[in-house]
Amino acid sequence: MQFGYARVSRVDEPGNPSQIRALREAGCERILTEVASAGRWDRPELFRLLDGLSPGDIVVVTGLDQLSRSFKEVLHLLDRIARAGAGFRSLAEGIETMGPAGHMLMRMIASFAAFERVMLLERTGAGLVKARAAGRVGGRRRKLDAKQRREIAECILSGDRTGAEMARQHGISQPTVSRIVAEHRLSAGLGQRSV
């Protein structure tokens, strides 16, 4: 079955009859329309279409920009269509993924997507190495500085305050208070004991 996908950017645009007409002329038996920006990821009609694809189905759009403005996202969506065993056609660009030439194109697209993933991992890894060399450690910054953490541990260990009181006072969870006390005990050589 051929499915058409038509997207308009604004609610005040009138259903874009030229897109729908072009999809009907291309032989689409069912057309899904959506009002959403191509830059948005939350497009329920598109994902309903992709989730319902069966082998042999064909997704037709009037142009690649109907899927996304991001090349990476277009590659991801085309890969998802291919994994469903379906084909893809873009009328404006003359792209078709059916037949031998289409299979070759899909393999090229999959190669580009894999290359992009490898490049992203390499860039991320290089960034982490550079950050560590500069003395930065990944993860979220601690909410409390060393002095506040020491005060929390000492108040609890001396019996002046409870873990729940310190958690409320500093806006942290009780398990965080327990970890702070445990870390303080280890660093002070006091051994482990329940809080």
- From residue 125, give the alpha-carbon distance in Å to each of 118, 128, 137, 182, 195: 10, 5, 13, 32, 39
Residue 121: in which H helix or E strand, if any? Answer: helix 99-133
First to last CA, the chain: 64
The answer to whether 98 touches 87, Cβ cutoff 8 Å, is yes
> Taking Cα atoms as reference points, which of 97, 120, 121 lies closest to residue 109?
97
Q: Annotated catalytic, 111?
A: no
The active-site residue, picked from 9, 37, 70, 187, is 9
Residue 90 one-letter amino acid: S
CA distance 72 to 56: 24
Active site members: 9
